[in-house]
Chains A and B, each alone.
Chain A
Amino acid sequence: MDRFEYTSPLLIPDESNLVRERNVRLYDGDQKTSFEGGEIVITSHRVIWGRPGAIALGQMCLSLPISLVVFIEEESPSAFSFSRSRKILLHLKEPSPDRNEGPQPSSIYNFVKLSFREGFSTDVTGVLNDCMQKKKWEWGQNQQQVVAGTSAKPSPYRIKLRTGIAGIERGIQEKQKQTDESISLAFQDLSKLMSMAKDMVNLSNMISTKIREKQGDITEDETVRFKSYLLSLGIEDPVTRDAYKSDNQYYRSLAKQICDIIETPITEAGGIMALTDVFCRVNRARGLELLSPEDLLNACRLMESLELPLNLYRFDSGVIVLQLVTMSPESIAEATAEMLDEKGSLSSEELARLLGISILLAKERLMITEKCGKSCRDNSTEGLRFFPNWLLTKD
């Protein structure tokens, strides 16, 4: 009932009277209101209710914009009612905040009922449905917008007619404005971004070619920053995609270099080194031209295909290491099992100390040995220890 507002029953332009019925009562949801026995007029825009005679005299009436109506249904009369009364339910949208004052500021219901005490002569629901589909109230708005648009438009026409440097400048400005708009539009929401993504990629494409053309004009810093913007947008930078071949080349040579630097330390460290250690050592060796972890990882991934003496290995626990190609899980297990036989039992800390490797790697070694069935574990309150697998070998 809060959707009703006080208005004059006079028709606005384009509005037309469709149906007039008498003896109608309004319900707020399921509740009767004091608005009863009135006249109702359905126009192409509104449902107007007035006290008898009020509409004809042009006095204040209640009106409900049909644009708020979502769905119309006729309430089936109960089996005990013998009256000719027919009720129509109008399900409504949330009211617009700038509506006129109404008889009721708020309502818990999202529907109103029109009760026609004497039934109705015309097909009220049909007419209402028709109005909802036609949306005549929008026609006027569109026209108004069109009118407003045409009145605003003339300026660009005039600019286009202009020639000379000013004209070109304005043209560029205009284009910038459009780009600006399309960018801000794209960020309005994600679904729009999806639909705009193609344009955005094209745009970024264009910008990056421009950047390439003007290599000298724009500082390296700005280029990098712009690329990072594009990346953070989730749009792959076409520049790197184009440069993929050369990237690959870069990674290849990087992989070779890493091997040169790291091979000796890895051999000394027992054949395996965690990637974090590799990262530190490589960057230490490089001094200033530091590598990103990503580049290092990518380079290390290529090592196997390049048949270098090192390769990347990922333990089941997720730890990634570089190891000598000659190292296989079996050889690790073999070596660790020998150490176990020698020492009787080992915890990962003890093995780490013995081999001069990190505890993490020592643990991985012991796990591999266990996986190969060459050791067995003793998990007690004193920690995890590994023993030679006598359970299998000794009987």
Chain B
Amino acid sequence: MVEITNVYAGYGGKPVISIPYLSFKAGEITSIIGRNGSGKSTLLKAIDSLIQYTGSITADGMEIAGLSHKERARTVAYLPQTLIPVRLSIRVLVSHGRYAHTGISHRLSSKDRAMVDNAMELADVYTMQDRWINEISGGEVKRSYLAMVIAQNSRYILLDEPAAGLDISHQIMMMTILRRLAAEGIGVVITSHDTPLSLTYSDKVCMIKDGALLAVQAPSEIEASDAIMRKCIGYGIRTNEDEAALYKYRLEK
């Protein structure tokens, strides 16, 4: 379990988020929702020790900031929202996911290569593994980086807006992959502006406004406490009655 206790984090000494207590369980998908600038990305960066913070952030009882770089990478993986279309083949990029698992020469073992293959298959980039990241579409770039993070085989995966920029079928595919990872026992934490999508696929929703935690609820409980959701994103949420609808939830004025 990732536990965040009395955390203040921000940039240039100015706190953006203030969280008394929050936890993410392994084997679950937790969505962090909130408006632009509410502190969603800052929270993920603090968990991955990318920014300075005060307080405590632990993973399975270990202070994440106290881990070595490689131990931290084996514990927590993080994918930022903006990904660089590097001049590398997809296979090489995904292989970088094994960086924290390899020795000083960083030579991949047959087990590492099998994990890279498996990650590429899961993210649906296996058949295009020799293509270059700077020559593929934005959605394919995102899936390639997701494969890299999967190959990293960390116990917790933090994804900043993983479905943004993907077409609808790949959005569903992305969330299905994340569900599969959660079923394998990995704790998945995502930020998302697409509330119906994230509610449909999440076990828990964490609502943030102006850096403060409003509530943590299961999607099924949110409709009953509609006011909190309205305070968080400005709209209410309703269960979709239409069974043919793509998502289980819909937004309401």
Chain B binds chain A: no
Q: Which residues of A contact B (CB under 8 A)?
A: none
Q: Which residues of B contact A (CB under 8 A)?
A: none
